[in-house]
Amino acid sequence: MLAGDGAPGADVFARKAPASAAWLKVPWLHFLDPSTQKAVLSESYVRSYDKGALVARQGEPASSWIGVIEGMLKGTRVNRNGKVAMVTGVTRDGWIVEGSLGEHEMRHYNLAAMTDSQVMHIPSSAIHHLLDTNTRFSRYVIDELSKRLWQYLGMAETARTALPEARLALAIAHMFNPAFDPGVQAFLPFSQAELSEFVGLSRQRTNEAIQRLKRAGVLAVHWRGLIVEDWSRLKAFACGAA
């Protein structure tokens, strides 16, 4: 059994711990008064996931709000034909802000750990209470939803970009943006297969794009992934200005 969002057998791949230490890293903590902080903290927990472990499963109830304390998660969606598409990536200090939690819906995509990761889970009941009673928290969530919407629109733009290197640069620039995830880092732990899935290109064309960006001094290739050496040039490639 894979580790899921409340899935049976989750502790096979995930180690559960109190959220007290990680709580200090929550970006919206100062929106809550001390008594509310204590109440939410008492209901929350942190799980450590090994690389590749499933954090939440597509089609299951969104029972918790998920924040990345350390590591990186990827969101993938399986369509009716069985094809897998990467829809989001969240790095340290980022939160999975999705409509399914607020609307009591099923999750629209799988969430898996791209690296060994520590993840905070806050039960949906606590989040709904904060949305109903705390204006500053509600504004924070609306702002995060707006950022994610622009991220998804950017990924849709990526699919219409012809040049492989521009497409790869655009995808990385939209997916790993400090405006969305303050903890974003230069190292991206992608395999070539994951990059192909991420960008929507064949492995051959993805490799060609990586080599072009490497020659331009934008990316460096590491055996565990990619390193962004020049974010400004990456954005220039993404905009077709390089």
- CATH code, domain with 110: 2.60.120.10
* 95 in a structural domain: yes
- Number of Cα atoms under 13 Å in the Cβ half of residue 220: 7
Query: Can you give the pLDDT at residue 103?
Result: 59
**Per-residue model confidence (pLDDT) at position 211:** 93
pLDDT at 22: 72
Contact 17, 48 (CB under 8 A): yes
Same-domain status, 44 and 136 = yes
Per the domain annotation, does 192 fall within a domain? Answer: yes
Q: Which CATH number covers residue 208?
A: 1.10.10.10
Nearest to 23 by CA among 115, 126, 132: 126
Cα–Cα dist 86/78, whole Å? 9
> In this predicted structure, what is the pLDDT of residue 8?
37
pLDDT of residue 13: 45
Instruction: Work out the burial of residue 241: count CB atoms within 10 Å of its CB; fewer than 13 is exposed, 13-18 middle, 19 or more buried.
Output: exposed
* d(C-alpha 15, C-alpha 54), whole Å: 13
Residue showing tokens 């590491």: 222
DSSP assignments along 72-131, one per residue:
EEEEEEE-TTS-EEEEEEEETT-EE--HHHHTT-B-SSEEEESSSEEEEEEEHHHHHHHH
190 touches 178 (CB < 8 A): no
Number of domains composing the chain:
2
Question: Does residue 231 belong to any structural domain of this protein?
Answer: yes
Angle between helices 164-175 and 203-215 in degrees, nearest 10: 80
User: Residue 138 in contact with residue 81, Cβ under 8 Å?
Assistant: no
- Residue 150: what pLDDT? 72
Residues 122 and 18 grouped into a single domain = yes
**Considering only CA atoms, which of 151, 57, 66, 155 is closest in space to residue 112?**
57
Which of 90, 119, 152 is the endpoint of a domain? 152
pLDDT of residue 27: 80
pTM: 0.72
170: tokens are 């655009």
Which pLDDT score, from 0 to 100, does residue 49 have?
94
Name the residue range of residue 71's domain: 10-152
In a domain? residue 204: yes
Smallest Cα–Cα separation from 144: which of 155, 156, 152, 132? 152
- 114 and 166 assigned to the same domain: no
Question: Do both 175 and 148 map to the same domain?
Answer: no
The residue among 106, 133, 152 that closes a domain is: 152
- 54 lies in some domain: yes
Of 40, 32, 54, 234, the closest CA to residue 125 belongs to 40
List per-block mean pLDDT (blocks of 10 residues) for the chain, which spans 242 residues: 40 55 78 92 91 90 87 82 75 74 74 89 90 92 80 66 79 70 69 77 89 92 85 80 56
Residue 79 burial (CB count, 10 A): 8
| Residues 50, 219: Cα–Cα separation, whole Å | 26
